[in-house]
Amino acid sequence: MQSATALTAAQPGGGANGKIQVGIIGCGARSHELMQHLLAAGGAVVTAVCDAYQGRMERAVERVGAQARKVNDYREIIADKSIDAVLVVSPDHWHKTMVVEAVNAGKDVYCEKPLTFRSSEGLEIIRAANAKGRIVQVGSQLVSAPIQHEAKRMIQSGKLGKVTMIRAAYSRNTASGAWIYPIPPDASPQTVNWDAFQGPAKKRPFSLERFFRWRCYSDYSGGIATDLFVHLCTTIHFLMDAKAPSKVMAMGQLYRWKESRDVPDTLNALLEYPEGFAVNLSSTFNNQISGQGTFQILGTEGSLELAGDLTFYPERNREDNRWIVESWPRKLEAAYWRDPRVRQQELTGTHKLHAVEGVRKTSQVGQDMTVPHLAAWLESIRTRKPHWEDAVAGHRAAGCAHMVNLSAKERRLVEWDFATDDIKGS
């Protein structure tokens, strides 16, 4: 974990109007959203942008202002001493390299999820961030949502009783939802730097599909697990104060989107946590159920459903053993019903207080949660106090996704080693 003593550094923001100077590494569609949210959060100015496709950089400068210069090599941004912090929004296979190089150069980092392409990379990032006293925050923004903080409060207060099961799903049913994105008509070897994109990945012939739809390929992405399940696992760890699952079993299949793709379009996983609860994760790109994402947090005293709203369902269970004891001898049956404890359980129920409370909803309204999440990052840069979703939290959430993929690929149980804080055997 990052220590308080490690996070001592000169205050950033020595540039224009005292704002934090930010460089953007990777200017894809998600990055353009982040740029807008960063400006909405206030207190930062984008002074450099970098991407392997020229058209994205042109649009980025239009979006953030002419003070931002276009850079063809991300290392120029990292070497620029006037830049305080960077957003790493590159394909997953580049994350570790770019984050470590940035923190080693004395820069704070916001890295879009997942933090890592392979689980062991998280430990490298944590060591680098600690050694240099840098802020590293990961971009699973929903943990900055008030609705999740309210859910956590309810769980910690005991309102749900003992939570033993969590079901979480994230499904879509469109080509774009399955990452089959449109390709710009001007994209070509002249406008796309293929070598810069490939970087540490296995070398492949030039491919616009791989460049613009990289989430579809295991050379650059972990597919559903690292793109969607990592959000779900981040929330689970936040709500339950959990570190990582001890065991994972998963299965994945490619049912529909079979062209230009090698990652599943349907994935199911079972996770077991040492804190005493189990998790079912599921996702498909062939059916959209109740919107894109839904959580069910099931406790002995009540359950929460976390989607657009937070809904509490109190348990109204009562014992019903009448059909059992009616098979006993009459004298034993009569004695059973005379027992005051039996009458309490069977006739009035054990959850009388909650049974009359009803269902309560807390609506989540207003701005995209990426705005407060980025605002929290900027505040951490100023105060040197890390956000909850630091490098350690990001490493463990991504670790869940990597466990799921490894289990599905090798058709076996995968375990987490809490002593090494990594996948067992990795």
For the chain, percent of residues with pLDDT exceeding 90: 82
Average pLDDT of the residues in 191-208: 98
Please report the pLDDT score of residue 349 as a whole number: 47
Nearest to 119, CA basis, from 414, 392, 390, 396: 396
pLDDT at 365 over 80: no
CA dihedral 414, 417, 420, 422 (to 10 degrees): 30
Q: Which domains does the chain have, with CATH numbers?
A: 16-143+370-390 (3.40.50.720), 146-316+354-366+398-423 (3.30.360.10), 322-350 (no CATH)
Residues contacting residue 210 through CB under 8 Å, at least 6 positions apart:
204, 217, 219, 220
β-strand partners of 71: 50
pLDDT band at 348 (very low <50, low <70, confident <90, very high): low
| Torsion over CA: 187, 192, 198, 202 (sign) | positive
pLDDT at 360 (0 to 100): 55
What's the rounded Cα separation, in Å, for the pair 248 and 269?
Answer: 7
Chain centre to alpha carbon of residue 62:
29
Structure tokens that stand for 188 in this block: 């070509």
User: Can you tell me the mean pLDDT for 287-295?
Assistant: 73
The identity of residue 286, as a single letter, is: N
Query: What value does the mean pLDDT take over residues 301-329?
Result: 89
In angstroms, the Cα distances linking 377 to 6, 88, 125, 137 are 17, 13, 17, 7
Confidence of residue 340 (pLDDT cuts 50, 70, 90): confident
pTM score over 0.95:
no
pLDDT of residue 208 exceeding 50, the answer is yes
74 falls in which pLDDT band (50, 70, 90)?
very high
| Single-letter amino acid code for the residue at 103 | V
Closest CA to 221 of 113, 332, 102: 113
For residues 157 and 173, give the distance between their C-alpha atoms in angstroms, rounded to a whole number. 37
Strand arrangement, sheet containing 277-284: 360-363, 309-314, 302-306, 293-299, 163-170, 277-284, 266-273, 247-253, 414-417, 422-423
Q: pLDDT category, 366, cuts 50, 70, 90?
A: very low
CA atoms 234, 240, 243, 245: torsion sign:
negative
Residue 274 has pLDDT above 90, yes or no: yes
pLDDT average, residue stretch 66-79: 98
Q: What pLDDT score does 318 carry?
A: 76
- Percent of the chain exceeding pLDDT 70 equals 89
Residues 93-140 pLDDT 10s: 999 999 999 999 999 999 999 999 999 999 999 999 999 999 999 999
Average pLDDT over residues 246-274: 96
- Amino acid at the residue 19: K
* Alpha-carbon gap, residue 143 to 40, rounded angstroms: 18
Secondary structure E strands in 264-379: 266-273, 277-284, 293-299, 302-306, 309-314, 360-363
User: Cβ–Cβ contacts within 10 Å for residue 105, how many?
Assistant: 17
Could you tell me the pLDDT band of residue 13, with boundaries at 50, 70 and 90? low
For residues 32 and 60, give the distance between their C-alpha atoms in angstroms, rounded to a whole number: 7
List of residues 6+ apart from 285 with CB closer than 8 A = 171, 172, 173, 177, 178, 224, 256, 257, 265, 266
For the four alpha carbons of 271, 273, 278 and 281, in that order, the dihedral sign comes to negative
Provide mean pLDDT across the span 365-376: 83
**What number is the average pLDDT over the span 380-390?**
97
Tell me the mean pLDDT in the region 321-330. 93
pLDDT at 346: 62
